[in-house]
Amino acid sequence: MEGGDQEEEQRYTGVPPDKAANFKDVIREFMRGLLEMSVQFGRGCRDVVQQSLVTEDSFLVRNFGKDSYIGRKLKVPYDNVLRRLKVFNEYLVPEDKHPWHAWSVILFVFVLAIAVLSVSVEHDTAIPAAKKVYIHPPSADRIMLPDGRYMAYREQGLPADRARFTMIIPHSFLSSRLAGIPGLKASLLEEFGVRLLTYDLPGFGESDPHPKRNLESSASDMLFLANSLGVSDKFWVVGYSSGSLHAWAALKYIPDRLAGAAMFAPMVSPYDLLMNRGEKYGTWEKWTRKRKFMYLLARRFPKSLSYFYQRSFLSGKHGQIDQWLALTLERRDRALIEDPVYEEFWQRDVEESIRQGNAKPFVEEAVLQVSNWGFSLADLKLQKKQQGKGILNLIKLLLGSSEVEYTGFLGPIHIWQGMDDKVVPPSMTDFVHRILPGAAVHKLPYEGHFTYFSFCDECHRQIFTTLFGTPQGPLNNTIEVEQTPFDDIQVQEEVTQGDLKTD
C-alpha cells in the first residue's frame, strides 16, 4: 500500500518523493522569478529611455553626450568611474557586461522598490486612526484669587477637620489637577489620615491664565489655596518631574507654612551655573536630540515653541507621551505607558490639561524650566545666619544673649530617584544632593521616571510610611465621653452638698 502511494506521488510530481521540493525551495524559486521579472522590467525602462530620450538627435545627447563640450570635460571622470565599476562584471549576465547598462537597470529596480515600499508603509500606517481629543464639560471646584483669577482644584482623601496631614501637589508639564499621585487609593489616604489637594496651574485645565507669572507668583497661589481651603497647620508639598519647580518655589517663598517636601525625580534647570561638568554631561547625554533642541528653543527662541506644540499635543489628536515630549524611556517605563490603565489615565489628564487650546501657558512652563528662577537651590540650604558687624551685634555676642539663627528651609526634604530614569537623569539628583546635603535621597534601582510614582500600591505605602510614620488613621473629633453610673452618683452627691451649704 505504501509503495503504491510513492509511485502515485512520483507520477504527479515527476521527481522521486525524497527529492520533492519543500516549502523553502518554493519560496526561493518564487523570489528568484520575482527578481528576474524586476530586472527585465528595469531593462525595459532603460530601453524606453534610450530610444526616446537618448537618440543622436535628442537634446540630451547634443548638449551632454560624449562628443559635446560638457561630455569632453567629463570624459576622464566618466572613464574612471566605469573602470571602477567593472569589478562587478563577474556578477553580471553577458548582455550587461558594460557597467552603464548594469547600473541603469539597478537604478530603475531600486526606484521601483522604493515606490512599492513607500506605498506599503503609507498603507500600513494609515490603518490605525488616531484617537481624537475630547474636551469634557467643566466640572472643577474653583476659588477666586486676590487678582480676580480663578483657580481650579481637586480634593481627595479626608476633609480638613479629620485630616492629620495635608499634601499639595502642583502638576508637571502637559498635566493637570487630575494627575495628583496616579493610581493612589482612597483607602491609603484614609489609613494615614491624609488630605490631598491638587490644582491647575495658570492657563492649564480650568484655571485662568496669569499675565506675568513666575515661580514667586506660583508660591503665592499655592499659599492662597491652602488658606482658602482651611489648611490651618503646616502642609507637605509634593514635586514630581517638572512640577518640582513649583515645589522648590514653595520652599523658598513660603517656608513657614511647609511641614516638609517630597520630591520625585525633581527637575532643575539644566543650565544651572552651579552644576559641575560631570553633572551637566550626565544630564544632557541621556536626552534625545529633539529634546535638547526644544530646550535650546525655550532658552533662546521661546516664541517658536508654539509652532511645535500646535503640531503635537494641541493638534486635537492623541499621541504617545514619549513622542510628544521627546523622551527616551527605559524598558519598564515603556511597559507602563503602554498599559491600557495608564493610557486611559494619561489621555484623560492630557485632555484636561489642553482644554483651553492655548500654547502660551505651555511655553511659559517650558521657559521656567531653563530660565533664571529668581533664586538658587543654595538659598534653601540650612545654615547659620551670619552675624552683623555692628556694635550692637558685637555686644550681643559678648553677652551671649544672641540666639543662633538659621537660614534656608528647616523642614525635611525627601527625594526619590529612579536609577534608570532617562527623563530626569540621576545626575540631576546628584547635583541637588550636593547643593542640599541635608536632603534624604532614596535611590531606586531598576526604576524609571514613571514606574515608582504611578500605579504602584506598594510604592505609595512606602512613601507615606517614610513621610508620616505608622498609620494612625483620621483625627477622631466626634467621640463623646459617656458617664458611667458611678460618675452619675458622684455628680449627684456634689450637687446635693452644694445645696446644703447654700442653705
- What is the helix (H) or strand (E) element at residue 104, kind and residue range? helix 99-125
Asked if residue 172 and residue 110 are part of one domain, the reply reads no
Q: How many structural domains comprise the chain?
A: 2
pLDDT of amino acid 279? 95
More confident residue, 6 or 203: 203
pLDDT of amino acid 278? 95
Asked if residue 179 and residue 43 are part of one domain, the reply reads no
Q: Which residues contact 281 (CB under 8 A, 6 or more apart)?
A: 427
Ranking 109-118, 304-313, 481-490 by mean pLDDT, the lowest is: 481-490
**What band does 145 get if pLDDT is binned at 50, 70 and 90?**
very high
Asked if residue 163 and residue 103 are part of one domain, the reply reads no
pLDDT of amino acid 17? 45
Asked if residue 121 and residue 148 are part of one domain, the reply reads no
State pLDDT tens for residues 433-452: 999 999 999 999 999 999 99
Asked if residue 274 and residue 316 are part of one domain, the reply reads yes
Residue 135 lies in a domain: no
Backbone angles phi, psi at 140, to 5 degrees: -85, 150
Asked if residue 121 and residue 29 are part of one domain, the reply reads yes
How large a percentage of the chain has pLDDT more than 70?
65
Residue 400 lies in a domain: yes
How large a percentage of the chain has pLDDT more than 90?
59
Is residue 90 scored above 70 in pLDDT? no
Residue 16 lies in a domain: yes
Domain boundary residue, one of 125, 155, 188: 125
Is residue 14 scored above 80 in pLDDT? no
Residue 478 lies in a domain: yes
Q: What is the mean pLDDT of the chain?
A: 81
d(CA 453, CA 180): 10
Domain boundary residue, one of 100, 125, 150: 125
Distances in Å between the alpha carbon of 368 and those of 123, 131, 259, 307, 365? 42, 31, 25, 18, 5
pLDDT of amino acid 23? 58
pLDDT of amino acid 491? 41
Q: CATH number of the domain at 432, please.
A: 3.40.50.1820
For residue 318, give its domain range.
Answer: 142-497
Instruction: Provide the CB-side half-sphere exposure for 148 (13 A, CA).
Output: 1
State pLDDT tens for residues 282-311: 999 999 999 999 999 999 999 999 999 999
Domain boundary residue, one of 80, 100, 125: 125
Residue 463 lies in a domain: yes
Asked if residue 411 and residue 279 are part of one domain, the reply reads yes
Residue 131 lies in a domain: no
**What band does 372 get if pLDDT is binned at 50, 70 and 90?**
very high
d(CA 37, CA 30): 11
Asked if residue 85 and residue 168 are part of one domain, the reply reads no
Residue 352 lies in a domain: yes
pTM for this predicted structure: 0.69
Most confident of 51-55, 132-136, 400-404: 132-136
Helix (H, G, I), strand (E, B) or coil at 279: helix
Distances in Å between the alpha carbon of 247 and those of 10, 239, 277, 284, 397? 82, 5, 26, 23, 36
pLDDT of amino acid 406? 73
pLDDT of amino acid 20? 44
Asked if residue 173 and residue 71 are part of one domain, the reply reads no
Asked if residue 111 and residue 146 are part of one domain, the reply reads no
**What band does 355 get if pLDDT is binned at 50, 70 and 90?**
very high
If you search the block for the grid coordinates 507668583, which residue do you land on?
217
Asked if residue 103 and residue 172 are part of one domain, the reply reads no
Residue 132 lies in a domain: no
Mean of pLDDT values over 157-183:
97
User: Grid coordinates standing for 55?
Assistant: 537618440
Q: Which residues contact 489 (CB under 8 A, 6 or more apart)?
A: none
Asked if residue 212 and residue 88 are part of one domain, the reply reads no
d(CA 128, CA 240): 33
Is residue 123 scored above 50 in pLDDT? no
